[in-house]
Amino acid sequence: MNKSELIEAIAKHADISKAAAGRALDATVTSIRTSLKKGGMVTLVGFGTFHAAERKPRMGRDPRTSEVIEIPARIVPRFKPGRLLVEKLNETTKKKRA
């Protein structure tokens, strides 16, 4: 599912216009990004938790030249799925297998 398909689904389920759904999605993504940038977490009960984690500097290898390079530390987004989301995914998988 891409962004336009997600906006369409939001509009249909919430019975709002696609424009309003697009603004709502953009506001949600911006709010999550802002919170993570400040070092916070965003928890959506039943869905999961977004948080920022620090990746330590490490050594790597340039695949073209085989030269050893240093990869700098950086902050990366992480997502931990909630229990309910995992249960629902596995419930669907069990139905497909049966």
The torsion angles phi and psi of 97, rounded to 5 degrees, stand at -75, -30
pLDDT at 91: 86
Angle (CA) 23-26-30 rounded to 5° is 140
pLDDT at 93: 62
Q: d(Cα 71, Cα 42) in Å, to the nearest integer?
A: 28
pLDDT at 3: 96
Q: d(Cα 9, Cα 21) in Å, to the nearest integer?
A: 9
The torsion angles phi and psi of 60, rounded to 5 degrees, stand at -135, -175
pLDDT-derived band at 70, boundaries 50, 70, 90: very high
Number of Cβ within a 10 Å radius of residue 88: 14
More confident: 91 or 56: 56
